[in-house]
Amino acid sequence: MNITVYLGSSQGNDPIFKEAVTELGHYIGSNENTLVYGGSKNGLMGDLAQAVLESGGKVIGVEPKFFVERGFLYEDIDELIVTDNMQERKAKMIELGEAFIAFPGGTGTLEEISEVMSMVSLRHLKAPCILYDLNGYYEDLKRQLRKMIDCGLSSKERQEGIYFASDLNQIKEIIENRVQ
């Protein structure tokens, strides 16, 4: 299965991020899945790719050429897809994905997973969209989605397929239940 993971190219300031992203990478790789991610060697992105590779998994990086030119490329990955811009990158990562995970990240991560959430809501994607709510990272977004329902601007049915997982075991359960 191709698992697209959105996350930052920085380390963050909490050591739990590196621990959790490494654990996620080992899960993806040891289960013979393929990681689809942004292609960077930096920060949590690099940690994730390294963990997948160490565990025997395949890694596909999708990186816009301006990032490649700036030297962000993780050269040890299995496949690199270079796009002209961020819009093409997002489209390619969605095209390749069979499950989507947003690890804690910044505005880029939020923008990318928001597009996936919208596509799942519109039923243009039939893949799980998982927000890794590590230590409550996405709790405010979860609250906002509930508010959309409470205000009549969304519904439980429209948000089916969007999941919040507080740990790797919940992510595994969501992915394994969707595969069956």
> What domains appear along the chain, each with residue ranges and CATH number?
2-175 (3.40.50.450)
pTM of this structure: 0.95
Q: What is the pLDDT along the chain (180 residues), one digit of tens a residue?
A: 999 999 988 999 999 999 999 999 999 999 999 999 999 999 999 999 999 999 999 999 999 999 888 877 888 999 999 999 999 999 999 999 999 999 999 999 999 999 999 999 999 999 999 999 999 999 999 999 999 999 999 999 999 999 999 999 999 999 988 755
Helices 43-54 + 15-30 axis angle, to 10: 30
Find the helix or strand (DSSP H, E) in which 150 lies: helix 139-150
Cβ atoms of 59 and 81 closer than 8 Å: no
Cα–Cα dist 4/45, whole Å: 12
